[in-house]
Amino acid sequence: MLLIRLGCLLGFVLFISPPVASASLLPCEERFERVKETVVSSRARARVGQWILEDRSKAVSHGHASSVRTVKGAVTPGDRNGKALKTKYAVQLLHGLYNSPKWMDDLASYFHTNGMNVVNTRLPGHYERQIDALDRVNRSEWVTATESGFQIAKDLGERVVLVGHSTGGLLASMMAVRHTEQVAAIILFAPAYRVSTMSWIKAAISSRANIGYIEEGSGRYISGDAGQEVVLLGKDFWAELEKQNPSQPIDVLRDRLRGTPILMIETALDKTVDAAFNRVLMRVLSEGESSVARMQMKLPQSDQTPHNAITLQDNGSGAARSYEKVQATLDLFLERAGLRSP
């Protein structure tokens, strides 16, 4: 900092001495502001562009593919000269089963407006050119794709805010456990730590019967095999924690996430995940964390918000009564967690 100030002083002396003044010299304050900016390296920009292009080649349309939003400058495929700046926090969005990044667009806009670079990650199998790709996807592919998106988010921010819905919430938690020091906060929408008993039975039967079909209206491909992969992904997550403490894996999760702000939003109409288990889990995670933002919100049945329609917009999906409540909760959480941009 002292060297920067001395450099500015020297620049001022040169500027007022006509015989040696340089037309390329900038005013000190502008120079000082440039030094404070952290510019995304050309190598990182190339990685982002390649990541976007690769996913677009697999997805049925760009709207369903992985995408990136930057606050200043642009990071687009083939962009070699654009100047993109790192933000203090970058956000990784992770959608739920049978959805795609398109379902997270309103959340992407929200965090982008709050001064954060946003990485919206598509999980393999979803909305691919081969519509039945979900029948053949393995949960390890979801983990690998999540890791890739997390690395992109690290390129674009000093620390990462993980935001996941359902299966994406489970994957967000896995990333938080593995990369605790680089995670600034976790925001979970009905995370699938455990699916409900009925959902587990349906997934098992559908997987054995090899049932797959396109849902009328939404165009989503519903796969029994993919549903079974979510069940097994949850078991993988807890098995990973049990390696450290076989009898108390939840305590391991609490210790790993100690000091990490967490928000969990549930909906009363959700019959897919084990909401009772999630409530118990949040109580355990909140023990002894009075100085850290730990918040839980449950949308009542009167809000008519189904499991796959937690949103920030009145988009006719059934969440018209809840989107303002969700946004107000997010605003409060960002404030309490110290994630607001200065």
**Rounded distance, CA 215 to CA 224, Å?**
13
Residue 75 has pLDDT above 80, yes or no: no
What distance in Å separates the CA atoms of residue 326 and residue 305, rounded to the nearest whole number?
A: 11
**pLDDT confidence bin for 81, thresholds 50/70/90:** low
Return the pLDDT at 337: 95
Predicted confidence band at 2 (pLDDT cuts at 50, 70, 90)? very low
**pLDDT at residue 73 in the model:** 78
For residue 46, pLDDT over 90 is answered with no
88/160 Cα distance (integer angstroms):
9
- Cβ-based neighbours of 205, under 8 Å, separated by 6 or more: 211, 224
Q: Which residue has the tokens 């200065």?
A: 342
Cα→Cα distances 150→31, 76, 88, 259, 333, Å: 32, 18, 15, 20, 22
β pairing state of 67-69 and 117-121: antiparallel
Q: With pLDDT > 90 as the criterion, what percentage of the chain qualifies?
A: 59
pLDDT at residue 14 tops 60 = no
State residue 240's pLDDT score.
94
pLDDT tens-place string over residues 180-215: 999 999 999 999 999 988 887 888 888 788 888 888
pLDDT digits (tens, 9 = 90+) for 209-234: 888 888 887 778 889 899 999 999 99
Write out the DSSP string of 111-142.
HHHTT-EEEEEPPTTTTBSSGGGGGT--HHHH
Whether the predicted pLDDT of 342 surpasses 80:
no
pLDDT level of residue 176 (50, 70, 90 thresholds): very high
**Residue 317: which pLDDT band, with cuts at 50, 70 and 90?**
low
Average pLDDT over residues 235-245: 94
Q: One-letter amino acid identity for 136?
A: R
Q: Where are the domains of the chain?
A: 40-336
Does the pLDDT of residue 4 top 50, yes or no?
A: no
Instruction: Please write the tens of the pLDDT for every residue from 50-59.
Output: 999 999 999 9
Tell me yes or no: is domain 40-336 CATH 3.20.20.70. Answer: no
Asked whether residue 282 carries a pLDDT value surpassing 90, the answer given is: yes
Confidence of residue 82 (pLDDT cuts 50, 70, 90): low
Q: 303 and 321 in contact (C-beta within 8 Å)?
A: yes
Torsion-angle region of residue 294: left (phi > 0), alpha (psi -120 to 50) or beta? beta
Q: Which residue's entry shows tokens 């982008």? A: 112
What Å distances lie between residue 83 and 88, 159, 224, CA to CA? 16, 20, 45
Statement: residue 261 has pLDDT above 50: yes
Judge contact between 182 and 160, C-beta under 8 A: yes
- Please check the confidence at residue 23 and state whether its pLDDT lies above 90: no
- Do 58 and 129 contact (CB within 8 A), yes or no? yes
Strand, coil or helix: 69: strand
Work out the average pLDDT over 6-35: 39
The pTM (predicted TM-score) of the whole model is 0.86
- 282-to-82, 273, 302 alpha-carbon distances in Å: 42, 15, 23
Nearest to 241 by CA among 174, 146, 166, 164: 174
